[in-house]
Amino acid sequence: MHRAHRLGASSFFGVMLAAVVAVGCSSPSVTTSPSSARPSAGGSSVPDSSSTASPTAAGQAEAQVGDTLDLVGTGDGERMAVTVTRVVDPAGADVFSPDQGNRFVAVQFRLRNTGTAVYADSPSNGAQVVDTLGQAFNATIADTNAGPGFPGSVRLTPGSTALGFVTFEVPKASAIAHVHFTLNSGFAADTGQWTVQRVQKGAPTAGTAPAPQPTASTAPVPPSTAEGTSPRQVVENYYAAINAHDYRTAWGLGGRNLDSSLQSFTAGFAGTANDAVTVTGVEGETVSVVLDATQTDGSHRVFSGTYTVRDGTIVSADIH
């Protein structure tokens, strides 16, 4: 099944007219500072609503996946608290598949009407992803199996909330750097920007707690895994070892291919209390996962991506 994302002619004309009026009285702006009112780690059961924003060079908070931005629409009383709750990259195909050389990226948005007016829109029209080269990609009409998408149009009364995925088709070589969202199908002057952090090492972690010390470097590295173990099982064993603080076993299961040294690999988990990994798909040597990393301060950070497993060992990772 797929859904239509575009507005009808009359609705589109109305949005265009409102946008023309808005442009005449305000300048375009980009919002990156998370709302101070977003849920705390202890006050929400949604893991990705409590991730921590990183300071920018100017000392301002830069919104990341899990943060909420307050955006203003073109009409009187149109205000929305918008959260990027998850980025699934790559996302599995539903009915349609991406063109050769491309992949699907699915972004889950939560919209909460904080204004005084009823808000009606097609959220996918105002969403974009931007890669590290500055190339912007609009939403595609295709659905993925990452989760339920928005219907063709959403109508939100003040105080109400909508949650859904928007799917993008991007080149496989593109590394996603930012997610953008603009109200009124992209015509409002206020655009929200979230930074998508790319994790280059073995696992996504954060924190300042002292790093657990590995055993002596002269100890033998255990075999990666028993011959014939599936790629899925290798990834699950890898995280089981990490959660048991058995970093040497995790190193042997593939951590040695993801970091420069065992000590650096171990230090990467200093701020993490537990990693809950969910395998969302397996295609040959590629294992797609969603990772909920509980931090030592009780907050959560949610990541997704893929591990490549070959001959019983993780040989590479692409985790965001």
Residues 110-127: pLDDT tens digits? Answer: 999 999 999 999 999 999
Three-class SS state of 59: coil
Task: Answer yes or no: do 258 and 171 share one domain.
Answer: no
Question: 294 versus 213: which is more confidently predicted?
Answer: 294
pLDDT at 159 over 60: yes
Task: Answer yes or no: do 185 and 249 share one domain.
Answer: no
Task: Answer yes or no: do 32 and 131 share one domain.
Answer: yes
pLDDT at 280 over 80: yes
Tell whether 167 is covered by a domain. yes
pLDDT at 2 over 70: no
Average pLDDT over residues 242-254: 90
- Is 199 buried (19+), middle (13-18) or exposed (0-12) by CB count in 10 A? middle
Widest distance between CA atoms in the chain: 72
Q: How far apart are the C-alpha atoms of 40 and 316, rounded to whole Å?
A: 34
Q: How many CB atoms lie within 10 A of CB 31?
A: 19
Task: Answer yes or no: do 186 and 45 share one domain.
Answer: yes
pLDDT at 96 over 90: no
Tell whether 219 is covered by a domain. no
Domain containing residue 115 = 9-195
Final residue of a structural domain among 142, 174, 195: 195
Q: How far apart are the C-alpha atoms of 172 and 62, rounded to whole Å?
A: 26
Average pLDDT over residues 124-145: 91
For 175-212, how does the pLDDT look when each residue is reduced to its tens digit (9 = 90+)? 999 999 999 999 999 999 999 976 443 444 333 334 44
Average pLDDT over residues 13-34: 56
Q: How far apart are the C-alpha atoms of 177 and 87, rounded to whole Å?
A: 11
Average pLDDT over residues 123-137: 93
Task: Answer yes or no: do 187 and 290 share one domain.
Answer: no
Task: Answer yes or no: do 14 and 110 share one domain.
Answer: yes
pLDDT at 139 over 90: yes
Average pLDDT over residues 268-297: 88
Beta strands in 26-113 (DSSP E): 29-31, 54-55, 61-62, 68-72, 79-91, 102-113
Final residue of a structural domain among 195, 223, 241: 195
Sequence-ordered list of residues with C-beta below 8 angstroms from that of 13, at least 6 positions apart, any chain: none
Final residue of a structural domain among 195, 214, 246: 195
Write down the mean pLDDT value for the chain. Answer: 77
Tell whether 169 is covered by a domain. yes
Q: How confident is the model at residue 169 (pLDDT cuts 50, 70, 90)?
A: very high
Q: What angle do CA 302, 306, 308 make, to 5 degrees?
A: 145
Q: How far apart are the C-alpha atoms of 221 and 219, rounded to whole Å?
A: 7
Question: 46 versus 264: which is more confidently predicted?
Answer: 264
What's residue 58's pLDDT? 40
Question: 241 versus 199: which is more confidently predicted?
Answer: 241
Paired with 304 in beta bridges are 290
Total domains present in the chain: 2
Q: How far apart are the C-alpha atoms of 312 and 315, rounded to whole Å?
A: 9
pLDDT at 109 over 60: yes
Q: How confident is the model at residue 26 (pLDDT cuts 50, 70, 90)?
A: low
Tell whether 213 is covered by a domain. no
Can you give the CATH number for the domain in which 279 is found?
Answer: 3.10.450.50
Poorest-pLDDT segment among 35-39, 71-75, 220-224: 220-224
Task: Answer yes or no: do 36 and 175 share one domain.
Answer: yes
Tell whether 200 is covered by a domain. no
Tell whether 212 is covered by a domain. no
Q: What is the CA radius of gyration of the chain?
A: 21
Task: Answer yes or no: do 103 and 37 share one domain.
Answer: yes
Tell whether 202 is covered by a domain. no
Task: Answer yes or no: do 116 and 263 share one domain.
Answer: no
What token pair was written down for 231?
């790629």
% of residues, the chain, pLDDT over 70: 73
What's residue 93's pLDDT? 77
Question: 289 versus 20: which is more confidently predicted?
Answer: 289
Task: Answer yes or no: do 72 and 123 share one domain.
Answer: yes
pTM for the model: 0.52
Task: Answer yes or no: do 97 and 19 share one domain.
Answer: yes
Can you give the CATH number for the domain in which 101 is found?
Answer: 2.60.40.1240
For 46-86, how does the pLDDT look when each residue is reduced to its tens digit (9 = 90+)? 333 333 333 443 444 788 888 899 999 999 999 999 999 98
Q: How many CB atoms lie within 10 A of CB 161?
A: 11
Task: Answer yes or no: do 238 and 311 share one domain.
Answer: yes
